[in-house]
Chains A and B, each alone.
Chain A
Amino acid sequence: MTHRFLSHASLTALVAELVAAKTRVIAPVRAQDDPEQVDYRPIQKLEDVALGVRLTRGSLKEFFLPPTEVLLYYKQTKEGVDIREVPTEAPPQVILGSTPCDAAALEVVDKVMGWDYRDELWFGRRAASTIVSLLCTAMDSTCFCTATGLSPDSFRGSDALLVPVEDGYLAHVITPKGEALLQKYAEADECMKASAEVAQGEARQKVEKNLAAIPPEFSAWLAANFDNPIWKTIALRCHGCGACAGVCPTCHCFDIVDEHDTADEGVRRRNWDSCQTSKFTLHASGHNPRQSQSERFRQRIQHKFSIYPSRFAEILCTGCGRCTRACPGGMDLPKLLDELMTLAKSEATGSEPKGSSL
């Protein structure tokens, strides 16, 4: 791995070069509807970017799995049905200044996208993207990346990681894609590396206090406690609105629908879906195996922290905290995980759990 130095001027020039070459550059910018908030959006120049100001409302998911996208166009003819599939190659894009948790989320989701069926649209966009993350310093009390095995300076999923140093950024160049983008810049010196290491250490400390690491045995405890009465009361305040799934960088469920434009032709699309709504599991017979929000919320926790790890050996959560920030009902995932882990631990050691405040 190499370390390079980018001055503010060189980063400005890099963005200008990419935009001139028609590469889509996506970075955090101030939200149009609320300048206090930040969203990932395509940018034209570095001045538009709000680097490291605060965590973005949405994740990077929409640039790899859009909320709605066409899979194919169909047209009924006398001879049969003409089908035109959409191309799976994507135009090049560079993500600049993403939080390391959002970059890592893409790698976590890669596993299911390449599992029993290889999702060419997802991997087409993944192959066309270069991700330059930025050391996260804007964490708040909802963040718990360190509990999920990540950190504010994680390399996972990023092609390069920028760390602010005097007059610019030190770039940890992680992958060949990152090297291709940043090779023209000078190597960083030892002084810059030392200063970056201090910043990274401070960032890690800030988030570590929010939640203890999720232990590997937690997954098995959840599986064994599928029928634990705690699920009946854990999600009382949950409206089942699914806002959590919309902002989650790792929730990836989708629904496929055919929509007619005329009687003979139309499109097949896939749209984001969420296990938090009742329709998600509604059978054609009218039966719904997940009758109430208690069961739907249990599914959310079980899928992220037990089912996904049993299949792919890692949890489906990066600790970004967005579900907690977005929830209109005040559901609080790090607090809830803390309570569940405490319960699991007290069962393992035979000690009395302290009074629950769920």
Chain B
Amino acid sequence: MKELQDLARKLLDEGTVKVVIGYEEGARGVRPAFITDAKQAGKLIFDKRCVQNLAAYLNPRRKQVAQLGTPAVVVKGCDARAVAGLIREKQIERDKVVIIAVRCGGVLENSETDSELTSETVSVRCGGCDVREPKLHDYLLGELPPAPPVNNRRVEQIAALEKLSTAERWNFWTEQLSRCIRCHACREACPMCFCVQCTAEKTQPQWIDPSATPRANRAWQTMRVLHQAGRCVDCLECERACPEHIPLGLLARYVADSVERRFDYKACEDPAVAAPMGAYKTDDDEEFIR
């Protein structure tokens, strides 16, 4: 913690950055912090409650953050994949952001609690974590903690979905998505949704009806998750934002698993590795073209 605070203080004092985006203690658990004054650097913390993916604040749509000036951002290994995604897709420049990576032993599902990390309390995204020591960084802090306990809930949910017939899976998602109110909070909170104009809001032609009807909800979420294929970093900001508590992370993970199987690609920390959405390989599997 002191290491993090000292680094933030130094970066702000020497003027390398104008803001350090990190975590602080809020009235109800940990929350994102925006430290612009070196004297406030002591507020910064990092622990197992730091679930938020702060890379979201580097997304150029967060104009209120961009206007502060050059940022430093505190990332876990999983979050670093989103920073890499934003660099890969030319949304930010590598040399205009200072990446403070922290070694991480898993985070809780709910940032408002402070329970021990167990297979019940740990976030579903920490299962099988292979980025406890982030590779994309300017500074790497902390000791390497032991691997987090594994929460199998997501794997079990996916296995259950795969056992269903196509019609049953269709019904499952139609039912889940019937709760969608088309507020688009999932998109707004997503670090990787940066389109200036989203297809959901194009009116000439109107690709997707704006009303929260089963047909339009399905069209919207299908469009979004397909656009996220191979780009989603499984940070679950969409699911945390959804006021209707739709398991959007499950949908995204399901698609991410398909991408991995089909294209041997997982969203990674190396901005130089092209994602399937933006690359063409002659040996891509084409069995679906008939």
A residues whose Cβ falls under 8 Å from a Cβ of B: 31, 33-34, 37, 57-58, 67-68, 141-142, 232-233, 235-243, 245-247, 255, 257, 259, 269, 271-272, 274, 276-279, 291-294, 324, 326, 328-330, 332, 334-335
Contacts and interface: CB of A to CB of B under 8 A. Distances in A.
Contact of A293 (B64, B211, B240): B64
Interface string B30-72: 1111101000000000000000100011000111110110000
A40 B141 CA distance: 46
B47 to A, nearest CB: 15
B87 interface: no
Contact of A142 (B28, B212, B240, B242): B28
Interface in B141-197: 181-189
B189 A328 contact: yes
B31 A329 contact: yes
Nearest to B198: A279
B15 interface: no
Contacts of B65: 236
A278 B30 CA distance: 27
Contacts of B245: 31, 33-34, 37, 57
Interface string B1-37: 0000000000000000000000000111111111010
B188 to A, nearest CB: 4
Nearest to A31: B245
B64 A294 contact: yes
B183 A274 contact: yes
17 contacts: A142-B28, A236-B32, A236-B65, A237-B32, A238-B64, A240-B61, A241-B188, A243-B183, A246-B185, A272-B181, A276-B188, A278-B61, A328-B52, A328-B185, A328-B240, A330-B30, A332-B28
Given A33-B245, A233-B34, A324 B189 contact: no
Interface of B: 26-34, 36, 52, 56-57, 61-65, 67-68, 181-189, 201, 206, 209-213, 237, 240-245, 247
Contacts of B209: 257, 259
A241 to B, nearest CB: 4
Contacts of A271: 182, 210-212
A217 B188 CA distance: 34
Given A239-B189, A259-B209, A292 B64 contact: yes
A332 B25 CA distance: 12
B27 A141 contact: yes
Contacts of A243: 183, 185, 189, 241-243
A330 B243 contact: no
Which of A58, A235, A241, A292 has the most B CB atoms < 10 Å from its CB? A241
Given A232-B64, A243-B185, A329 B243 contact: no
A97 B61 CA distance: 41
A68 B27 contact: no
A259 B211 contact: yes
Contacts of B34: 233, 236-237
B188 A242 contact: yes
B243 A247 contact: yes
Given A37-B245, A328-B237, A329-B31, A279 B201 contact: yes
B64 A235 contact: yes
Contacts of B32: 236-237, 329-330
A236 B33 CA distance: 9
A242 B240 contact: no
A293 B276 CA distance: 32
Nearest to B187: A241
Contacts of B30: 330
Which of B29, B181, B247 has the most A CB atoms < 10 Å from its CB? B181
Given A235-B64, A292-B67, A241 B27 contact: no
Given A239-B56, A241-B189, A274-B183, A293 B31 contact: no
Contacts of B36: 233
Contacts of A245: 183
A67 B181 contact: yes
Nearest to A338: B27
Nearest to A297: B64
Nearest to B242: A243
Contact of A240 (B182, B188, B211, B244): B188
B27 A242 contact: no
Which of A37, A328, A329 has the most B CB atoms < 10 Å from its CB? A328
A58 B184 contact: no
Contacts of A324: 28
A335 B24 CA distance: 15
